[in-house]
Chains A and B, each alone.
Chain A
C-alpha cells in the first residue's frame, strides 16, 4: 500500500507522524479520507476525531479543529489541539462537560461558546473510548 508523509502542527508541538497509509478527518462538511495521491487542497476541519492508519494499525486523536493542507508530497494538519485517544484525561473531560452543561442551563456566559465547549468535551470523551 502506498504511503504519504503526515505532519501534525499545533501551537504547542509539532509531531512528525512519518509515513502513513490513510487518515480520516472531520471536515466542515463531514468526514473525509485522505490516501496517497489525493488531490491537493486546503480543507477546514471542525472539532472531532482523526483516524490515522500506519503500518496496518489505527490510531485515534481528538481535535478541536483547524485545517488540513494536502500537497503532492505530504499532508500537514494544522490543529489547535490534538490528543491521542490514549492520553485523554477522562476525569477532566467529564468535569468540563458538567461545568459547561450547568453553565448552559443557568444561562451564564455566551451560549455559543458554551455549546462549543460541550461539543469539545463530548468529542474527547468519545475518542477516549477507542
Chain B
C-alpha cells in the first residue's frame, strides 16, 4: 500500500486541479451568456438589413452585382471557424474533421482556406494546406470590427474571381448541451424571391446603389453571427468539459480518500500489533 504522505499529496493536487476546472467552468458560463446577449443584440439590425435587401432585389439589375452571381463551382473558399484554445472537449476536433471532409470533396488544390481561430490554423498549417487568410488570438477581445475585417477579406477574395463560392464551417449554438456543426453558403448570396407591395418612397441615390452598399454590410453581420455562434458553442463545450473534469476529480478524491483511510487504519493496526506483541513478549518472560 502506498504510503500515507504520497496519498495525501495526490489528494491535495487533485483538489487544486478541481478548483481550476471549477473556475474555468464558471468563466466559460459567463462568456457564453455574454455571447448569447450579443447574438440577441445583433438580431434587429441583421433582420432589418436583410429584409431591405430582399425587398429591393426584384427591382435591381442583378448583372451589376457580382456578389449574387452564381457560377459553376470549380474553386471555393472555405472559412473554418475554430477556437484559439483547447480544453473544450471535442469542439475543435469535430469542426476540423468536418472541414477536412468538405475540402476532400473538391480536392485540396481547389480550396482556399480561411482559418478563423488558432486551433484550426495550426492544424492545417502543420499539414501543409494552402491557407489564404488566417486570423488567430482575437477571441478574447472579440469586437464587431473583427467581423467587418473578415467580411471585407472574404468579399475581396470572392470578387477577385479566384473562387466561385465561399462557404463557412462553424458550430451553431442550439443550447448548452447541443451544438451543431453547420456548413453554410456565404457567397454568392442566396435569397428567396419575395413579392412585396411597392411602397411609395424615395430611394437615394438609387435602389441599385442601396443594394450594392448593403450587401457587404449584410455579409459583415453574417460573419458576426458566425463568430458569435461559434464563440457561444465553444464556451458551452468548455463548460460541459470542465463540468465533467470537476466530477472526475471529485470521484478521484473519493477513491484516494478511501485509500488514505485504509492505509491509515492499516498503519494503526500494525502499530498496535507491534505494541501488543511487544507487551506479550515482556509478560511471558
A: residues with CB less than 8 A from B are 9-14, 27-29, 32, 39-44, 46, 64-67, 69-70, 76, 78, 80-81, 110, 112-113, 116
B46's closest neighbor in chain A, by CB?
A: A11
**What residues on B are CB-neighbors of A110 within 8 Å?**
152, 156
B: residues with CB less than 8 A from A are 38, 41-42, 44-46, 48-49, 52, 144-145, 147-148, 152-153, 156, 199-205, 209-210, 213-214, 217, 220-221, 224
Q: How far is the CA of A39 from the CA of B204 in the complex (A)?
A: 12
**What residues on B are CB-neighbors of A67 within 8 Å?**
52, 210, 213-214
Beyond the given pairs A11-B144, A27-B204, A80-B148, 18 more chain A to chain B contacts, judged by CB atoms under 8 angstroms and listed by A's residue number, are A11-B42, A12-B144, A28-B209, A28-B213, A29-B205, A41-B201, A41-B203, A43-B204, A43-B210, A44-B204, A44-B210, A64-B148, A67-B52, A70-B201, A76-B48, A78-B45, A110-B152, A112-B156
Main secondary structure of the interface of A (DSSP, over half): mixed
Q: How far is the CA of A14 from the CA of B38 in the complex (A)?
A: 11
Q: How far is the CA of A14 from the CA of B41 in the complex (A)?
A: 7
Q: How far is the CA of A42 from the CA of B204 in the complex (A)?
A: 6
**What residues on A are CB-neighbors of B214 within 8 Å?**
44, 67
Partner pick for B217 among A14, A27, A70, A80, CB 8 A cutoff: A80
Q: How far is the CA of A38 from the CA of B46 in the complex (A)?
A: 25
Main secondary structure of the interface of B (DSSP, over half): helix
A39's closest neighbor in chain B, by CB?
A: B202
Known: A40-B201, A67-B52. A14 touches B44 (CB 8 A): yes
Asked whether, in the complex, the Cβ of B205 is within 8 Å of the Cβ of A81, the reply is: no
Least distance between B63 CB and chain A CB atoms (Å): 20
Asked whether, in the complex, the Cβ of A44 is within 8 Å of the Cβ of B209, the reply is: yes
Least distance between A92 CB and chain B CB atoms (Å): 10
**What residues on A are CB-neighbors of B209 within 8 Å?**
28, 44
**What residues on B are CB-neighbors of A64 within 8 Å?**
148
Q: How far is the CA of A116 from the CA of B220 in the complex (A)?
A: 15
**What residues on A are CB-neighbors of B202 within 8 Å?**
39-43
B207's closest neighbor in chain A, by CB?
A: A42
Q: How far is the CA of A81 from the CA of B148 in the complex (A)?
A: 10
Identify 28 residue pairs between A and B in the complex whose beta-carbon atoms are under 8 Å apart, listed by A's number: A9-B45, A9-B48, A11-B147, A11-B220, A11-B221, A27-B205, A28-B204, A29-B204, A40-B200, A41-B201, A42-B52, A43-B203, A43-B210, A44-B209, A44-B210, A44-B214, A65-B213, A65-B217, A67-B52, A67-B210, A69-B52, A70-B201, A78-B45, A78-B49, A80-B144, A81-B144, A81-B145, A113-B152
Asked whether, in the complex, the Cβ of A13 is within 8 Å of the Cβ of B41, the reply is: yes
**What residues on A are CB-neighbors of B148 within 8 Å?**
64, 80
Q: How far is the CA of A41 from the CA of B38 in the complex (A)?
A: 29
Partner pick for A41 among B52, B144, B153, B204, CB 8 A cutoff: B204
Q: How far is the CA of A116 from the CA of B149 in the complex (A)?
A: 11
Q: How far is the CA of A29 from the CA of B209 in the complex (A)?
A: 11
Known: A11-B45, A28-B213, A44-B210. A113 touches B201 (CB 8 A): no
**What residues on B are CB-neighbors of A78 within 8 Å?**
45, 48-49, 52
Q: How far is the CA of A14 from the CA of B48 in the complex (A)?
A: 12
